[in-house]
Structure 1
Amino acid sequence: MAVYTFLGAEELAGLIAHYDVGELVSAKGIAEGVSNSNWIVDTAKARFILTMYERRIELGDLPFFLGLLDHLAAKKCPVPATVHDRSGKAYRSHDGKAVALIEFLPGISPAEPTPAQARAVGAALAQIHIAAMDFGRQRENDLAPEDTLAILEKCGADALAKIDPRLPRVIDMGRNITETWPGDLPQSVIHSDLFPDNVLMMGETVSGLIDFYFACNGAMAYDLAVTHAAWCFDRTGKRFGAAIGQALVEGYETVRPLEGSERQALPILAQGACLRFVASRAEDWLDTPADALVTRKDPMDFVRRWDFYVENADKAFA
């Protein structure tokens, strides 16, 4: 989440008036994240999240993203449903940009997850994988290893070196990933971005999985590997939490046991997850406007995680 576009009180009130949610009482921009502008919106009836889609999201993908939320919410998964406007639309256009109003879910994103929380998240991830199997829409993963490698190659070694002198070596590391990437793993719709700040918790209970704007059809084990890479290290990627990783996988398997091929593939899938986040963070670092209300994220955090998975393939998912 982030704020790239300023909306005044009158504009916000005008947008909210298109929904049967009561008059606008207050709105506050949310500064985290990198892709969309977001506001917490309070009306006379309830609290919501207002999202304006800014980057990486194609208008044609919105029916997939928003329809998926409604599909999962209808199956009692802990995800926010969309709020449709008075004409029944899941999103509207404002100054050439799409906007949507999303249900607000209570909870706090864990800054330092516990094994119990990781176990609950693993189970919730498996729940949405199963629930999404009969979702009727399809969306290709446009951040597969070959796509994210292309991002790094487009950035170029010289530009990457300006971020950190050690960063250009990941281009060759990424080529190795694309050459060894596994195929034919069990598929569903996957979240593919389940960082702790995309999970809301009430104690050890998952109250919300949010930000499905990278969701796509893909290997369920890859989604678990993405979540493993996102949850099992400190914020700098320097310290691995084995107990968190074990609990995450155990929680997942209480709902959906992994096949042998999936378990065997987890180390390389985790490396592919790191490739993706190194590439997206490097691209954002180079492209984010200086005046945007957003904090750039260091791609080296995921280079260190990537190195861990390379050097400890036999221990990371033990």
Structure 2
Amino acid sequence: MAVYTHVSAEALAAFLARYDVGELISAKGIAEGVENSNYLVDTTLGRFILTLYEKRVAADDLPFFMALLDHLDAKGLPVPPAIKDREGREIQELEGRPACLIKFLPGVSLSHPTPAQALAAGDAMGAMHRAVADFTPTRPNTMGIDTWRPLFERCGRSLDDIAAGLHDDLASALEAVEANWCGADFDRSAIHADLFPDNVLMRSDQVSGLIDFYFACTDIRVYDLAVMHTAWSFDAKGENFDAKVGEALIAGYERHFPLSAFERAQFNTLASGACIRFALSRAWDWLNKPADALVVRKDPLAYMRRLKHYDAELVKRSV
């Protein structure tokens, strides 16, 4: 979440008038994240999230995201569907951007998840994947493996402005992952593709919300778990790996989908790919962040450090 587009109180009040949600009391920009503009909105009838979709989220993709959230909500999963206005519309326009008013979910996102919390989060991802077994809409992964090399080339030698040698390190890692990727051999489904700790709301050791589905797509099911593993099993800088958190995450997921021998053998390749994906997208954002955006810039090197862990595990298995 972030704020790129600023919304006046007058424009927001007029927007809310389309809904049966009461009158505006206050609105506060949410600085975390990098994708869309988000506000925490309080009205006389409750609390909501206002999201304005920025350039990385294509308006044509919004019906897929809304349909997925509606599907998961109907299955009883703790997700935030969009609120419909009086005419039954979920997708609006505000300040020249597609916009939605979204259900607010209580809970807190974690900075240092425990194994118990990771177990619950892995279980929630498994339940989500089981719930989409009959979800028929599809969407390509716009940040999937086919996009990594083009993004790497767009960043180019500017990567070395972030850290000396980053360009060549990413080039070598990308070549290795591309050579070992077995994408056609995995089960595929709708996935979240970005289930970081800040996209999981917790109450104590229980999951109260799965949020921010704007990278959701159709891709390798267990890749979703690999993305989660890279995000949950390390500290924010990617320097310290917590094996117990990683093991708990997988154990929770396996309550729904036990990993096959093939998936276990390929897991570190998938996780290395996830590290490359997030290192590249963070690097691009680092190099191209608008000067006036209220947004927390994330360090791509934190994912290069994670990458070294998965590469080392691959070496161990090969000897």
> Would you call these one fold, judging by a TM-score over 0.5?
yes
Across the aligned residues of Structure 1 and Structure 2, the Cα RMSD in angstroms comes to 1.3
1:208 corresponds in structure 2 to 209
TM-score by length of 1: 0.96
Structure 2: runs of 5+ lacking an equivalent = none
Read off the aligned partner of 1:223 and give its amino acid letter. Answer: D
2:155 corresponds in structure 1 to 155
1:308 corresponds in structure 2 to 309
Structure 1: runs of 5+ lacking an equivalent = none
Q: How does 1:129-168 map to 2 (within 5 A)?
A: 129-157=129-157, 159-168=158-167
Deviation at 1:314, TM superposition (A): 7.3
Number of equivalences:
315
> Does residue 261 of the first structure (1) align with residue 296 of the second (2)?
no
Deviation at 1:260, TM superposition (A): 2.3
Q: How does 1:42-57 map to 2 (within 5 A)?
A: 42-57=42-57
CA 1:314–1:6 in 2, change beyond 3 Å: closer, same or farther?
Answer: same
Aligned equivalents of 1:42, 1:313: Cα separation in 2: 49
Q: How does 1:71-220 map to 2 (within 5 A)?
A: 71-157=71-157, 159-168=158-167, 169-183=169-183, 184-220=185-221
2:240 corresponds in structure 1 to 239
Aligned equivalents of 1:231, 1:112: Cα separation in 2: 8
Aligned equivalents of 1:277, 1:206: Cα separation in 2: 24
Aligned equivalents of 1:160, 1:279: Cα separation in 2: 9
Answer yes or no: is the 8 Å Cα contact 1:281–1:299 preserved in 2: yes
Aligned equivalents of 1:258, 1:43: Cα separation in 2: 45
Sequence identity (%): 51
1:17 corresponds in structure 2 to 17
Read off the aligned partner of 1:89 and give its amino acid letter. Answer: R
1:3 corresponds in structure 2 to 3
Answer yes or no: is the 8 Å Cα contact 1:53–1:99 preserved in 2: yes
> 172-181 vs 198-207, which deviates more?
172-181
Runs of 4+ displaced beyond 6 Å: none
Please give the per-residue CA displacement for 1:207-257, whole angstroms capped at 9, x wherever unaligned.
001000000001111000000000000000010000000000001001221
Deviation at 1:315, TM superposition (A): 7.5
Answer yes or no: is the 8 Å Cα contact 1:40–1:49 preserved in 2: yes
TM-score by length of 2: 0.96
1:70 corresponds in structure 2 to 70
